[in-house]
A and B are shown apart, each in its own frame.
Chain A
Amino acid sequence: MNRTALIVFLCCSCIHSFCIAGAEKNQRSTQQVSFSRDIQPLLAKHCLICHGPNKAEGGLRLDVPEKSTAKLDSGERAIIPGHPERSELLRRVSTADESEQMPPDDTSLTKSEVKLLRQWIQDGAPYEKHWSYRPVNAPVPPEVKQESWIRNPIDRFVLAGLEKMQLTPSPEAARPTLIKRLYYDLIGLPPSPDEVDAFLNNSRPDAYERLVDHLLKSEHFGERWGRHWLDQARYADSDGYEKDNPRPEAWRYRDWVIEAINNDMPFDQFTIEQLAGDLLPEATTTQKLATAFHRQTLTNSEGGTDPEEFRVEATFDRAETTAAVWMGLTMTCARCHSHKYDQISHREYFQFYSFFNNSSEAKLSIPQSETAMEQYHQAKQTYESNLEQLQVRFSVKLAELQTVLKDQDIINRSIQKKTENGSQQADRAGSGSLKQTAAPENVIQALLVNAAKRSGKQKTIIQDYLISLDPEAAALSKELIELKKSRPQPPLVDIQVMAKEDRETRILNRGDFLQPGEPVQSDVLAVILQSHPLPQRSREKPADRLDLARWLVDPNHPLTPRVKVNHVWDHLFGRGLVSTVNDFGVRGEIPTHPLLLDWLAWSFSHDMRGSRKQLIKQIVLSATYRQSSRVRPEIAVIDPENKLLSRQNRFRVEAEIIRDLCLAVSGLLSEKVGGPSVFPPLPSGVTELSYNNNFKWRTSQGESRYRRGMYTFFKRTSPYPTLMSFDCPDSNTTRLKRENSNTPIQALVTLNNAVFLEAAQAMAKRVLNEKQGTDAERLAYALRLSLTRQSEKEEVTHFLQLLNTAREYYQAHPQDADQLVKQHPVPTVDGAELAAWITTLRMVLNLDEFLVRS
């Protein structure tokens, strides 16, 4: 860029202002100040901490319209609508007199902020609801000039914004980039060369759509998008805190998530089952299992803790996580005091908290596995039929004995024998005849009772006596006892879920569980309640979690569908339409494309009926999504963050996916879906850092070493280091957006970590086995495996040089070669040759293009 052009750019950029929101609403031709866009954030930033719901210094509250115009303690009025010059507020923010200036600290308002305030008061100081609390409407997609670019309505909103700026969208990405992008985004795995070829050679106009459909049907889709959800659910395999005991059955909830997403469970059902599955009429085991969403909270079993303290702590987390995940609201501040800028009072916090306070962690018995359950049912059937047969044989025998040994006979005989021997002992001597036996006293006593009136115990005494007289009966009885001992037990395991438990909720002063205040009943936030009431199933009882869940996913809820589609957008573009995906409150960013956001939210909750797959399909089919991600320097100057969406974005894939990609191209990856967590290789000394060394990492063997990253056992106080190095959340609190950092520690992982080295070893084996030909051809194949596209000659040349140097080195240093190749030897290839390939392909696995969704 020459210097003049640069200056022109700068000047233009500085003096003009634009907003994409405006681009969409081009009917708004005159300068207008918007309360929610311009004024509310300004008040929140500078004024409301002292002149808001918590304090009303000088009698002034600026969060409520009636109070902002009322007479103050001083007798002045802060705002006189239509008269900025008479409004005390304006005078105090613009005065040069330090003793009067507001705000009193050194964060005084900028000139443009003062100007905004003046204009707003001039316009009558209209208050309006924050944009995200207003109902979602179905906007009409705007008209555009470049009709030919439009693939679906999404593109109209985006293109209108670009055209407003006299910009054009980027061209569609090359087909290999498109297929790689779709594979990374939808299933988190690279396409195989065959899959790439099939797509490249498919000239059908709907080839792309068919590819999308194919990927949406893949089981790996549930893994990829399930992991996004597990971030929000703060899923982990251990309790957290000092003891951090394992939760060996936690993965069952993870499986539930994967399956629900693979089945495209509508988002309302997905929500209701996780928040209140236990409260559904005739709730199934699976629906109860879903409530483990809120049992992902931490458990502190450190010695000397007060269980109530940590129950309350977990309940805070449940309330706050729910608000964050579904409504994009941060309630944490209101735990201790009324929110200083978002309209959430301390009381409302505890009303919301009450939904979760009326529940407790509970045990749920579920089948260990379907196979085990089937085996059990089979074994049970066999057992029962054996039992029945034996019981019949035994009954017959018993009946037989009873006919031989009449009650009265036994009594008579016994009395006779007793008299003869002067002894009570049964006489089995010379047992030629059963009738010779004398029965013990307790048997006789039992026999003396009328048969119809005998107690169970008496019957048993008599029966046992009869059996003792007959070896065959005794054998049968023994057999029966043995058989009963082998009765198959149902293969059930206990998992922790949530269940209803009535509990009075009191406001906790300063959020301290030792300072309970006045009681409250469950309710939702007033600011949303006004336009979107909470339907209750029962008028007598306060609303419960099921009412709450239904309220959240009602299509008319202003926040849930907006927040939800924004999450999905964020995953597919690396940036949400609202960039603060975790904050839709007044301090959050305003949407870059508010109408598009609403159009998507409306479609998602109405036309698509909450189908995650349909929403994703709609987005990835758009021309907007398909754009090239090449940075356009001329646009980057005015839109460095690509808010206008004049291209796709490039971003490094997540922690788990980095490993998955390497395992996949090396051919090591296990594609098994679901099941218990696994323990891939870990450098020694890592778990020793957890308390008391109470945790041993038993490295998995066989296939389990190569499962996808999302199945790695997650211990909260000693998480898998590779995951953490790449910004995997710590799972102690909900995470709606991952950081995407770039550190030397990450480079060390992919260069040197044993797991990644092994991937290079296996990849060398794969390339040498699968591809015959020259070195260059083989290298091109390796690059194709990892980059999807055909490599360029110069790229191959670079690697060829490395390969040759390495080859030379290993021929001279066979011991080094041995060390490298021993884990994955290739019998047909010489050690030095293989080592050279490993050393070279290791770098292929480190290419930026491989690790980045472009």
Chain B
Amino acid sequence: MQRCGPYHLVNVFTNKRIKVAPMKYRSPISTEQITESTRRSFLTTSASGIGAIAVGDLLYRDGLLQSAQSASGERQQSDLINPLTPRQPHFSAHSKACIFIFMAGAPSQIDLFDPKPVLNERHGQPLPESMLKNIRFAFIKKENALLQGSPYQFRRHGECGMELSELLPHLGGVADDLLLVRSLHTEQFNHHPGQLMMQCGRSTFGLPSMGSWLTYGLGSESQNLPGYVVLTSGRGSSGGATLWQSGYLSSSYSGVPFRNQGEPVLNLMTPGGIPDKLQRQGLDVLRAINQRQYDQVHDPDIAARIASYELAFRMQTAAPELINLTGETKATQEAYGLNRPEPEGIGGRGKQNNTYQSFARNCLLARRMVERGVRFINIIYASWDHHSNIPEELPYNTGCVDQPIAALIKDLKQRGLLDSTMVVWGSEFGRTPLGENRSGNRSVGTGRDHHPHAFSMLMAGGGLQRGKTYGATDEIGWNIIEKPVHVNDLHATILNQFGLDHLKLTYRFQGRDFRLTDVGGHVIPEWIS
């Protein structure tokens, strides 16, 4: 605690000195706040003086220029102006953007990523009782459950020889750019809690999602688009909007759903009958009156509001330009499979309207967003919840996603963006090596139940290892036998690639410093290139 004698304050308007008695108690106001507010106050007074310079713009640009601010530093005042001001990470890093492709419903790793010859040999046999002890299932009746091998062939791909299912031929083509993780595990085995866990690091409600944390930590590079965008194809996910809400963080950090056709963002279009020039003139009037108000009451919130309206106006141009794909070459459009027809005769729970085209568009849009500085793009595709009918529905889904994702990875690489963009394929959990027998009959079916104990994920770019397979499960794919990765570890490593220390990226809420990794999380050095 500091002590000092009497001192003087200077009234800025009268230039009179005011004598102030020494204070005895700790200041509730930090030095940083004082510096920041002084700067703000300086701008305030000078802006009123200059008059001609629009204070909104001044402050807004000012907000954007504060890139020296650190991710965990004092942010309150500048948040008033632009909460998405780009911020320096804790340490320098590769990744600038993340495309998180969330395969909601849980695809079968047994049929896609984790070949199990022994399981195939034991197809139709019961699982030893010792393994079933203390295991909970959603639907499987333990007594009669039988092992279910995969009917799909696995092949080695690329120089690295990564083994992938025949259902993923295109991804096989980029195997040398992939990091395949076969040893993920989670605690949740119901969809919504599991999806919250994967998106927010814990299965409870009211928490920010990964995208919220990244934009909170790093702000956004885009001046015309939201920092965190959500793109969906297929049917709705179990978690719905709870998967991209910002929880206790400001709604500035929540995901903005983009539709890939029509009006890309809700309320983006000026109402019919109002031409752009009237919209612009209207905003000019609004700005002038708000500016007058600002000059009278000096509230920085007003400057922030002026800035928000300007950004909104820019978004009105930028977002339609973003979703207009006519500038993309035919080759690109074809590579992503933009015009693929829906396959005939198969479909299932993932299908909704033109799902194939919609997913392909979303992948291409994701690349365009990365180019425009969007920080986090969440592509959600549901549903992979194959409790039955794997032979039809799994190929439908893989047929939908395999080509566009592979094209996305190639495209990013070709444009030199893959190193700074992390692409993740993931789901809330995996599926059982046991066949689903909801009826309780002792027979092998066509579905698989939820499996939180071991599942797989694919990652690419963002400074991660390439052509690497990490972790292993036992011979039937039931338990992890090598290098287990908890969801919190995954998140810690993702943040690390963005230069963020998951232990330091915190937010104080209800007395607790919350973080994406809850109370766990270890960065996995072996993933980092």
- Seen from chain A, the residues whose Cβ lies within 8 Å of a Cβ on chain B are 1-2, 4-6, 8-10, 12-22, 28-31, 33, 37-38, 112, 115-116, 119, 164-166, 240-242, 244, 298, 300, 302-306, 324, 330, 332-333, 336, 341-342, 580, 582-583, 585-590, 592, 629-634, 636-641, 643, 650-652, 683, 685-686, 688-693, 716-719, 721, 724-727, 730, 732-733, 735, 739, 741-749, 751-754, 757, 792, 794-795, 798-799, 801-802, 805-806, 809, 813, 816-820, 835, 839-840, 842-843, 846-849, 852, 854
Contacts and interface: CB of A to CB of B under 8 A. Distances in A.
A755 B9 CA distance: 50
13 contacts: A9-B9, A17-B1, A17-B24, A17-B25, A166-B21, A300-B193, A304-B138, A587-B511, A636-B298, A637-B37, A637-B41, A689-B236, A732-B242
Contact of B268 (A304, A652, A752, A839): A752
B529 to A, nearest CB: 27
Contact of A22 (B23, B274, B298): B23
B58 interface: no
B20 A305 contact: no
Contact of A1 (B12, B190, B282): B12
A617 B189 CA distance: 51
Contact of B26 (A19, A166, A817): A19
A799 B290 CA distance: 13
A631 B241 contact: no
A547 B274 CA distance: 62
Interface in B260-314: 262-263, 265-275, 277-279, 281-283, 285-286, 288-290, 292-293, 296-302, 304-306, 308-309, 311-312
B44 interface: yes
B142 to A, nearest CB: 13
B31 A727 contact: no
Contacts of A843: 282-283, 285-286
A745 B31 contact: no
Given A5-B12, A12-B20, A650-B299, A583 B242 contact: no
A469 B267 CA distance: 77
Interface stretch (B91-99, B245-253, B337-345): B245-253
A301 to B, nearest CB: 10
Contact of B512 (A333, A632, A848): A333
Contacts of B273: 816-820, 835
Given A691-B239, A730-B245, A742-B252, 12 more contacts: A6-B42, A16-B23, A22-B25, A641-B33, A716-B242, A747-B308, A748-B315, A795-B292, A816-B275, A842-B282, A843-B282, A848-B301
A399 to B, nearest CB: 63
Contacts of A324: 510
Nearest 3 A/B pairs, CB to CB: A304-B138, A717-B240, A19-B25
A724 to B, nearest CB: 7
A805 B2 contact: no
A724 B247 CA distance: 11
How extensive is the interface on chain B, given as a class? 35 or more
A683 B236 contact: no
A728 to B, nearest CB: 9
Nearest to B309: A747
A379 to B, nearest CB: 43
Interface centre among B12, B251, B512 (most CB of A within 10 A): B251
A592 B28 contact: yes
Nearest to B291: A848
B254 interface: yes
Contacts of B259: 685
A588 B511 contact: yes
B267 A744 contact: no
Contacts of B267: 683, 745, 748-749, 751-753
Given A302-B238, A798-B285, A5 B308 contact: no
B29 to A, nearest CB: 7
A302 B450 CA distance: 13
Interface in B4-47: 4, 7-13, 15, 18-29, 31, 33-38, 40-42, 44-45
B256 interface: yes
Interface centre among A638, A639, A732, A747 (most CB of B within 10 A): A747
B257 A689 contact: yes
Given A166-B18, A727-B250, A847-B286, A330 B512 contact: yes
B23 A752 contact: no
Contact of A742 (B18, B262, B292, B304): B304
Contact of A693 (B20, B42, B236, B510): B236
A590 B28 CA distance: 9
Contacts of B509: 582
A641 B33 CA distance: 9
A527 to B, nearest CB: 14
Nearest to B349: A692
B77 interface: yes
B239 A242 contact: yes
Contacts of A685: 259, 262
B298 to A, nearest CB: 4
A5 B15 CA distance: 8
B232 interface: yes
Contacts of B24: 17-19, 22, 28-31
A506 to B, nearest CB: 18
A838 B423 CA distance: 46
B191 interface: yes
Contacts of B300: 631
A10 B257 contact: no
B148 to A, nearest CB: 18
B291 to A, nearest CB: 10
B139 interface: yes
A41 to B, nearest CB: 10
A638 B9 contact: yes
A725 B268 contact: no
B278 A741 contact: no
A1 B26 contact: no
Interface string B185-210: 00000111100000000001110000
Contact of A12 (B7, B42, B508): B7
B253 to A, nearest CB: 9
B137 interface: yes
Contacts of A816: 272-275
Interface in B475-527: 508-512, 519
B133 interface: no
